[in-house]
Amino acid sequence: MSIQTSFEPSVARRHRQDTKADLLRLARIWAAAGVLAALLISFNPFPPEISRTDSVLLNRYGYSLLAAFVLATHVVVTDPRMLKALLNPWWVLLLLPLPLSLWGAGWPEQGIRAMFFTMATMLAATGVLTLPPDVRGFRAALIFACAAVLALSYAGIFALPARAIHTAAEVEAEHAGLWRGIYAHKNIAGPVMAMIVFAGIYLLRSGRTTIGLTLTALALLFLFKTGSKTSLALAPAVVLLALLGPRLVGRGRTALALLAAVAGLLALTVGAVIVPIFGDLLHGLIPGTTFTGRTDLWKFALDLAAPLPWTGHGYESFWGSAGVEYSEKPFELSWDMRGAANAHNSYLDVVLELGWPAVAIVLLVMLVFPLIDYARCRPDPENQRLADFFVMVLGFMLLNAALESFFFDREKQAWLLAWIAVVGLRFTSRMTAEP
């Protein structure tokens, strides 16, 4: 009797501890799911037109609070190994061109504000990976966030078609009838849907067959309905490379193949405007192509970028500036580019705003180092599946960046997804994912 009594408090204490641990685990998973859903959906879904995130107070305060919350969780619950991996000096170097460019541009208020919000969203994005207590928790958070995006986007198609589908009344009337869901443009929706396809494939490979198939099918249908030709062309290629490459030639050669693909696409896009040989090669492969008028836009932008090749014109201080708006009208080009919102090439926009050295930093930190991490992925099935998922996301985004602009843009989910993939690949090369 006395022995039984002495054990009872110990059993009850253990039960309370187990319950507390379960509640903490559940709270961390829901927190990660909420952070990822907020980053993918934003605090301003179904916008009537393309607008800057910092023009919406709800987004401004929402992302700031999200970053503060994630920073607090880093102090309280983040695994010390993850914190050590997050303290990467190369990531500081990645952000350094932003304040340097603003200093050279005279510290414009809009640029300073945009820089802080960009850094806040990047900090918040790290919580997607550090909050889940294990890889099962990460998958649960991923499922919730992807399902939330799809549910809201499909609901918008039926309940708010004027907001979820492009109409002929918009500036780009040629997009009428194409789906955009909760996003401002089909070319923003396309990369997110591609990511959900990659997530569905990752879940399928992890044993979550039903939910994986469902997410993949719904995202593929939505991607098709966006009419985003770039996303539709890149997604299957990236999937094949990430899934077959490691088995056929190994991770190291797969990483080199992806590096070559990004370099090749850059050579045939903006490189074709800069280097005549690349231009001849492009027109030999695809006679008469202009990438929907982008080549003329790139010529126009490069001419204006020439006076400040090393420092750029300042973060978010080029497009819409007086120097662009009141520049000489380019009569020799197919259309007037002075009202363009961006260069439709992320790498070129980095040149325009931050200078040529910043492009080298971006390629090193966002492409070369993550691919080295991918090649050095820990030889564990969970790590390998995670690394394959992250490299699909990163490879797609960096290839898509040759035709769309989103680097350092806190409004664009493509940038945040690319950043999450970079951080995720660093984790998979440095620690074993706990099942």
Mean pLDDT of the chain: 88
End-to-end CA distance of the chain: 41
The strand pairing partners of 165, in sequence order, are 179
The token pair at 222 is 């939505």
Give the span between the Cα atoms of 301 and 96, in whole angstroms: 23
Contacts of 388 by beta carbon, 8 Å cutoff, 6+ apart: 202, 205, 242, 243, 246
- Give the residue-averaged pLDDT of 141-155: 97
39 has pLDDT over 50: yes
- Give the residue-averaged pLDDT of 138-159: 97
| Structure-model confidence comparison of residues 7 and 193, the more confident one | 193
62 has pLDDT over 80: yes
| Residue 100: CB atoms within 10 Å | 18
- Give the residue-averaged pLDDT of 376-394: 95
Give the span between the Cα atoms of 46 and 185, in whole angstroms: 10
7 has pLDDT over 60: no
What percent of the chain is predicted at pLDDT more than 70?
89
What pTM value is reported for the model? 0.92
Q: How far is CA 18 from the centre of its chain?
A: 37
| Residues 365/358/104/109 CA torsion (nearest 10 deg) | -60
- Give the residue-averaged pLDDT of 194-221: 97
51 has pLDDT over 80: no
pLDDT at 269: 92
The token pair at 389 is 């998922």
Give the span between the Cα atoms of 395 and 196, in whole angstroms: 14
What's the pLDDT tens digit per position in 261-301?
Answer: 999 999 999 999 888 898 888 888 888 787 877 888 888 88
Contacts of 103 by beta carbon, 8 Å cutoff, 6+ apart: none
- Percent helix, strand and coil across the chain, each to the nearest 5: 75, 0, 25
Of 96, 93, 97, the residue nearest 356 (C-alpha): 97
What's the pLDDT tens digit per position in 78-93?
Answer: 989 899 999 999 999 9
Lowest mean pLDDT: which of 47-51, 277-281, 302-306?
A: 47-51
Give the span between the Cα atoms of 88 and 73, in whole angstroms: 18
Burial classification of residue 245, based on how many CB atoms lie within 10 Å of its CB (0-12 exposed, 13-18 middle, 19 or more buried): buried
- Give the residue-averaged pLDDT of 233-244: 96
